[in-house]
Every structure is written in C-alpha cells, then in structure tokens.
Structure 1
C-alpha cells in the first residue's frame, strides 16, 4: 500500500511481509517501494500489475525470488532499479515488459554500477505483442540457465514486442545461451554495448554473434553492427565488445609518465601508445619503461631527454623506430637494455651518448645474448663534445647502411666525446662501413672485442682494420691491437676476432698477430 520500505509489515495488505509461499504484488497507484536490507525469500514478485509501480533495491538490499520476477504486468508499467551494493536473485524466469499476453505492458530494469542480478532461467523481455522492455546494465546481470529472448517468448518466434538492452560502460551481461538460428533477438529489438561493456556466453558463439550483428541486432557505441566477438578475453566464453576505433595518429611528441609498461596507454600523456608519426620521449625523473610485447611503430624514440630515463625491451618485446633512436639526449643520461628474445629495429640513425650538441649526455646501450638491434643508417656514439657512450654487445647489432662513428658525428672529425664499444664473448657486431682513412674511431674512443666476439664488414677491410688496430683503436681481450682479420670465416666479409694464443717450443703461450 502506498510508498514505503519493503520490510515494513504495515505497508502490506494483511499486515505481514511476504514470505516464500507468497506472491508480492506492487501496484498501488504508481507507488515506490524501497528495499535497503535483506528481505524474506518470496515466491513471486510482480512490479506493476494492473497499476503502475516502482521497486528500488538500494545499497545493502537483497531480494531472493524463488520463482519468477515480473517487471511490468497486465496493462501496466513496472520499473525496477538495482543500485550499487544491491543483489537480486531470481530462481526461475525474469520477465521484463510483459509475460506473453497481448496487453500493453512496459517494463524498465536498471542495474546500476555495483548492482547485481542473478537469474536461473530464461530472460523473456517484451514477450507479448504490445510489450516494451528496456534493460540498462551498468553492473552485472548473470544468467545461469535458460536462454535469451528479446521480442519473443520462445527464442524462436516473434512476439510483436520490442526490447532494448543497453550494456553500458563497465556493465556485463553474462548470458547462458542464445539461439544459434538467430531467434533470440527479433526484429525491432537490439542489444547496445557502450564503452567497455561486455556480453559473454559460454562456448563458441563467435559466428553466431557475427550473424546477429550483421542483421542489425547488436550495436556498438550506437553504431549498428559495430561489435566484435572473441574467445580470448574470457577463455571458455565468447565475449562481445565494441569495436574500438583506432586512435588518430598525429605528428608530435608524446611523453611517458612515471615508470611502467610501454603498452599501457594511460601512462602516455596523450592517453594513447605513440604511433608512427609521433616521437616517444622517456624522461620522467629517472623512470624505467619496460616493453614485453610488440609495440606499434613509432617515429622517434628519445631515452633521457632533459631528464634521465631507462628503456628495457624484454623477452618477447619488439620495437620498430621509423626514424631515429637516441639513447641519451639533451644534458641527460639514457640507458637501454635489449634482453634475450627482444628485437629493436631502427630505420635511420642510432645515436648513443648525444646527437652532436655540446650538452653533457651519457648513453648506455646493452644488448644481451639473444637480443638483437638492427639499424639502417649511421651509428653515431658520443657525437657531441661532452658525449659519453658505452655500447655492450653480447647479442647481435646489425648495421645495414651508413657508417660507424665513435667520438665523431661524421666519421671524419672528432666530436670531443668518448665512446666505448664492447663486443662481448658470443656477441656479433655487423658493420656496414668504416672510414678507410682511420677516422671512424677518434682518439679516446675504442672498439673492444672479447672472447669469441666478432665484428664483420662487407668486402675486404683487412688493411683498414689493421691500421685502426695499430693505432690502438681496436682491442682484443683488453689489449689494443690484439686482433686478427680474415676473409674466410664469412665469405664476402672481413671478420675481426681476438688474436688467438700461440704456443712456442717451450710450451709458453704468447699472442700471435
């Protein structure tokens, strides 16, 4: 009777709160009944039977319906809201907008974020010829039995009613089943998914969902058919989501905030992972950025620009830089690690320890065993007057264009910076070119080859390498000049290795060059 709290006995005809053998009927001239606590179990609930009515299950409210729940019934309008922190359990069928009769019935069910409705059987929404159902899901609606029916009472034949289901941002509609022949959603009815909303179904319904979407029965963000179904988001289930539009790629600089995963879009200032027209700048108070998967192509990468920073490309990580990669930039320190199983590709110049400016820049690039860096133009290390570069190669560093420059920006003139390039045991440095006049490595800079490490160059550079070694610019196992070249280890290439030890007649080892 009138408005009031479900658990107020005097509000019910007969003066008793309905129990597990009772049918609770809410129909007192458009009244509103609220529930903010546990209600006794009830057999049936009918909201709006012959007269309009509203039921609001508020935070802390729990309602267990042992049989069926009707939102709208017998020529009337029923409205139900399940608020955050509220739970409604329905053992049998959930009816919204009529129960199959030809009467004009309107039902609206709203599940707010944090609200939950669990249903053990069919979802019949707009099951009658004049039924109108609207279901808004920002929380969770879980169906554990039966099948879905929008504008139908049997998931096969149209009822004539119209049902609209809105799965809003953050909402989840977890279905138990949907007709594989397309009968669960009838003409005029639709499921709209918005934002991060999801619809899930146990098993593989990917092609079935594709048919429903193609027929205009699913929409994503208001666009009919703009949904996708997959089996990976929730293993064992088909998950239906909105097709997310690719972010617009525009030229500009994008700064990474704090430390974290490169692929976490929210950590970039634009809210998107940088693209092939954007320069990724890592310089947030000595932060560390990690990459464990395939990153979208990016225009440039600057590690340590104005502030220090570290980039770790871990196993499974891959990064393609469309233009230039800077390890250290603008008065700062940049550190880059390429781990076992990681690949970095640079289309243009690889800079380590500055880009030619007089600023004090330190850059360290470490390529672990099993890691790989490929670049297509010059290697400029310590290209500025106060540049300091260290490159450690235990994996593979491949140069397919340009020339080597250690302590120089043009492979001719000294920059004033100092570069140390260590090719460690098992490491390979494949150069494309080195200046024949001996100026690719400037005073103070050095190329060290250790253990079984090797350096290769296409063509015959044996005499050129010998000059660099005799001038102390190439060392083997820490000894300047202690290297050996050949044209046979890699036919078509000059191969530079540590000079092997020789044994004299007295059994004493000495270096043989």
Structure 2
C-alpha cells in the first residue's frame, strides 16, 4: 500500500512539474545554438539571437541541437561559484544536442535533455525540474556527472519520462534540494520501452527527502564504486528495491563479488547504499556471511574449526589470519589474495581450499600435509600444492649428498620417474638443491635421516609454502602409453574418477598407481607389489593381516593434497588437471573403500606363507565388457615377479570389470611365482550381491580342487614360473555347470578388435584350439593348446578381409564364426 501511494504521489508530482516546465517555455525568448564560431556557450556569435546571452536573463530559453561544427561548452571563466553563478531560463538539449558544462550556472526553468549533458566541473544547478528523456521518442537521452562536477535539481530529476534515459555518475555528485526527488523509470503508461537507468560508477548520489528515491517499473539503479546517501532511515524501502533487483551491483564490483550494502547510521541520520564486501573483524562479518556471490575480506583471526567453513566469490586476507583446520574447507569462486604476510593463510593437514575459476592467486600460503607412519628408509611420492616449493627446503634432513667412487655412487634420496626406463632416477647433486617441485609432477622422497628405524614408525609433517596453485595444469609432450609420475597440484583433494574421465584415452590408460607406505627391503626374496591400484571399478591395495606396517593400504577414490601417483599417458600425450576435479572431501587417507550399490566385487589376496604379495579384484558393473575397458580395467604394473592377476586378452590385470553378473561366468586367472613355495589365495572382502552369500569358487585345474572362498582360503604349492591356465574363478561347482550345459555357439562367442588385434571371448567355455581361414578356405593361422576362455590372434597377418574363425572347445565342440580383420 505504501509503495502504491508513493507511486501515485510521484506521478502527480511529475505531472505538476511537467506543466510548470511547459509554462516557462511559453514565456521564454528562444535562443538556438548554431556553434559556427566556437564552442563557447557565452559567445553571441554561436546563437541565432543578435544580443549575446551572457546575462542569462530568466526570460531566455536556450535550445541546443547539433552544432555546426561546434558543440557548446559552458566554461568556468568569469563565473566562479563563490561570486555567484549566472542565471538562465530554460535549457533544452535536443536529440542531436550535446552540452558540456564545467562552470557554474543556475537554470530557473525546467530543463529537458533529449541529447547529452556532461557536467565535468562546477555546479549545474537546476532550480526547477530536470527531465532526462522528456520528449516522446526512442533515442537515448544521457546525462554524465564527471569528477569535479555537480548536477543538482531543486524539484524532480526524472530519468526517462517519454523516451529512454540514462544518468551516469562517474565520480561527480548528483543531488536534489531538501524537497527534491529522483524518479527512475516512472514513465506514463502511454510511453512504452522508456527504460530509466541510473549508473553510479563512482561518486555519490544525495537525496535528502524522505522516500526521495523512487524506482518505477522500467527503472534500474546500478552501483559499482559509488554510493547513495538518503536522509533518514530508508532501509526498508531500499530493501524492497534490492529484493526486486531494482538496485543491483554492476561493473568491477560485480566481478569482485560485491553485494549491495543497505545500512542506516543513527548518528548521521543517513541511509547509505553501496556495493561492498563482507569483512571479518575477528568476531563478526560486516555484511553477513559470505557466499558464492560475495567477496570476503579477513582483517582478524579466523579459524574454520571455530568460526565455520567459508564459501566466497573472492577471498582477501589483509591482516590477521585464516586457518583452515583439519576437516574444514574454504570454497572460493575466484582468486585468493594474501596481503597479511607469512602465516596469513594456513591450510592444515586434511583441510581443503577449493577454487572454481581459472584466476591468479597472490601471496604465499602454508599448506601442511602429513605422511603415513613410516620408518627412516621409507618413501613417499609427493606433489606440491603451491608454486616454487624447493625440494630440499621441503625435506632438508633427507639424505642429499653424493659419494664419489668409481663410478659415482649417489646417496641422494630425491627421485623423479623415468618414463622411458620405468625406473626412479636420483636428481643430480647439487642440482636438486635448487630444484623446485614442477606443477602436477610426482617426486619420490625418502624420510629424513633422523626418522626412527624399522620396525618403529613416525609421521613426517610436510609443509609447503608458496602461492597456491589454481586453474588448468597440463603436462604436455609426453609419450602415449608410457607410465608417468604425476601428482595432485591443488591445495584440495581431487576426485580419482574425475581424473580418469579426462585422462583415459588409449589402451592401458585410466589406471592410477599409488606408492605403498613402507619400503620392502626383501623384495628379491619375498616380493610384494609396490603399488596400490585404482580404477573406476574400485581399488586394490596391499593385503592386510601380515602384521607388517604396510598392511591394509587401499585407495578410496580421492587423491589427497600433496599426493603423487603413477598413471599411463593417454593418446593425446597430455595429462590434464582442472579445477573441476577438486573436492572438499576430507577422507583422502587411502585407507578404506566405499562399497557402491551398482557394483558387485570380490577382492582376492595372494600371500606366500605369512608374507602378503598382492591383491586383485573382479567387479561386475555397468559399462564393463569382457574385453578391455579404459578407466575400468587396471593393468598389473608388473613390479614384482610373484603375482595373482586376472586375464584379459592374454595380459595381466589386477582390476577387471565385467558386465552384468551371471553365475555361469568364468574368470581366468594368471599366476606367477619368482620362487617355488607354498602360496595362499584368500578372499579379502566383497560387496554387492557377493555380500548376500553368492558362492565364489576358486578352481585349481592342476589338482582338480574347487574351493568356496566365501568359506575358506586355498593353500597350494607351486614351482617357480608362469602358469596362466591353472586357476579360474567360478560361481557354481563344475557339477552344476555341466548340468546347465554351457552354451557354445555363435551367440555365446564374441570376436572383437582391440589395439588392432582380433580377440576371441568364448564366454564360459574353454577353447582347445582356434583356426582362421580366408574366404577361399586357405588356413592363415592356427592356435593350438589355447586352454583359456579368451585369446588374442596376435600373429594374424591377413590384411583387411572377411575371415572364418573355427573354434574348438575342450570337449571337442566346434563353432565357426565370421569376422572382419
């Protein structure tokens, strides 16, 4: 009701002042600008009248159109404000007109601006009404109030009355008398599309009248660096305009994440409206809790553990400090600026600072990251979340000298990964002393020499200091298919699945390998894998139960701050990190896995005596096939000569995804041993349908033994060497399988090409042999003693043509399948 009455009041006021202005026009002597001599407003030769207008008699009316060739300028010479300003009648600026005023003038009549007025100095004092766009039309009328200039209106400043109008306050002052109004976009209903805009880019707008700022249906007030001052407590009315998006932030203030501040000061009796940040002074936020649309400035002490997590459009620490405690996070859309010096921003272990946009950060921050419990000779694969962190400064007590012998023997324990040889290579001494972490790169660093010897352990408290990494990180010029040591480049965890999604093109890609927690000093005699492995099917870790320090080490789907890892270079030759990978998860300890409902998985452990060797996993899941699936199937990194893996096209995989579960499925396993001995295969854990009691049988084709791994482990003896036909994983006993009479026909056999090689998958049937014929009946390839459900025709040299593939099962059934090479 109040707003309706106010609009009626302003409409009546507008009609009144319109007629007053019209009355003055009828009594005025018209002077029209010609501008043929100069731009001097006071030069009679520039006007159509004979008498010079220098006296500015109140009865005179000045009409300003397009000058030929000069537009008028009212200069400051001769009329200082302190000595009194000249007085004119009505000034009308037509659509083509342009008046610049840098002096002082009192305009007694109503002013109509359909063109452009620029006040860049002095006082342009309208002692009546001022209409910006007062004549019916579609052209845009403009008034600019620049630095040093003041435009004051006694009665009503109407921005857009009958045509579109814009007032730009660019560092000057726009004001009214004590009873004046500023009406923005309050046009009559008969005039359409008359948008009224007040842009406060800098400077100030002063309205001393209660409810003196009225914004109509077609009106908008944009605030960048300036402000509005209103007499009295007008916060309620202004809040209504803010809510309706009639007063809003613009320009650099919008880009900086500022919002409209609407505050009343009882001492000055002023309501101030401005674009501002929210400032933490050590106890409260000045403009409410920040969010993704509001810039946050910290001038006091702020800790997330006490004061809460922060989401902001931009974050600046000017004094005091920001500490992101363990388990906390700060999420910033744009840049992070630390102007508070050392200790201004501290990110504790297991805390996260996430950024959304590719902006440039300023000022050093401290990021802390603790290692797992380790002994003196153990290593961690590190990656820096900040720029220019020196390697030696990060771990100054790690062995870093070289012993000169013949040849040179180094004891420097800072390593990079050589993708060409698949070996870690010590950084040359003394070059490493000046070497900084490269962004997105993994470095293998040994524990300090002061750390306790095994079996004792302790935590290394890593501290990174530098400007926080942010935005895209691309490692280019890499060789597709090679292993490479990379690392999380951000001060927040990243999603392993998201990383795989953007880096999994090409055979073997999409698998992540994480260095184990502790070093195996007996690798030659009791070999164990050095890496835990992760794909989108899930993780495999280091088997638990041995009592050694590295037991139970399993990735959990997030890549921790400071974490390095090995992956395969995709076909693009580029490893990509982006802000889209970042997360606020605080569970990046690689110690457990989350079971997902859409997956049914079984994890198997291989051990030699009491010594854990490796872990493998089979997952039934959406998106998987019986062939290789990038990002799902994880190759064995082959860093130990003893291992249990599954078979895909004759290659070793520690993670294999398979399509929808069937209890008639058969998974062929690969086994190799570096030494003869006694080994055990056991279930580590299961999820999905396997957690509901589905049987899991390990078939030993050598002994004819079938063991239900859901109930017990299987121990066996084996000679040194490779045996890829001994073990199978099934889900029914052989008797049950034979009763079901496994299908063996064209529909149960799939032939597909992978990496240029034809592969055959016979489903649940073991193949005895394979023959390949061309269409003339010529035998082009024969594979004998296949003894597997899958095989790859690696030696097929038949060119691109139609082929007939004859497959014989182990029980001498024969199926012929057509294929295109």
TM bracket, shorter-chain basis:
0.3 to 0.5
TM-score (norm: length of structure 2): 0.28
More helix by share: 2
Give the structure with higher Rg (CA).
2
